[in-house]
Amino acid sequence: MLLARVVGNVVSSRKSERLIGTKLLIIEPVDFKKQKSDGRPLIAIDAVGAGVGEIVLIVQGSSARLTDTTRDTPVDATIMAIVDYIELEGKQTFAK
């Protein structure tokens, strides 16, 4: 799993039939301590109703196709949780 921030939306009127009805979001991996950018942005299917600005957990590869929303769907990244808070080394580093 990776920690990421939702930074935008992607709208696609034509896409694979298996993707119809899915929400595509642009996510940017972030570090655990300060939630600062820690990698290149990518597109992920939203399986939990996340929104721009939220910190989320994503899965990639074959795990991305294991949610109810993405089963048997051609995806490589799925948002599968919205983060409420992060505690690292006994200190809270993020709270929603």
- What ranges do the domains of the chain cover? 2-10+21-95
CATH number of 2-10+21-95: 2.40.50.220
- 80 Cβ partners below 8 Å, 6+ apart? 1, 47, 48, 57, 58, 59, 67
Rg of the chain taking only CA atoms, in angstroms: 14
Q: What is the pLDDT of residue 5?
A: 97
DSSP 37: B
Please check the confidence at residue 94 and state whether its pLDDT lies above 90. yes
Global pTM exceeds 0.75: yes
8 A C-beta contact, residue 7 and residue 35:
no
**What average pLDDT does the chain have?**
94
Percent of all residues in the chain with a pLDDT value above 70, rounded to a whole number: 100
Would the pLDDT of 1 be above 90? yes
Is residue 47 within 8 A of residue 19, CB to CB? The reply is: no
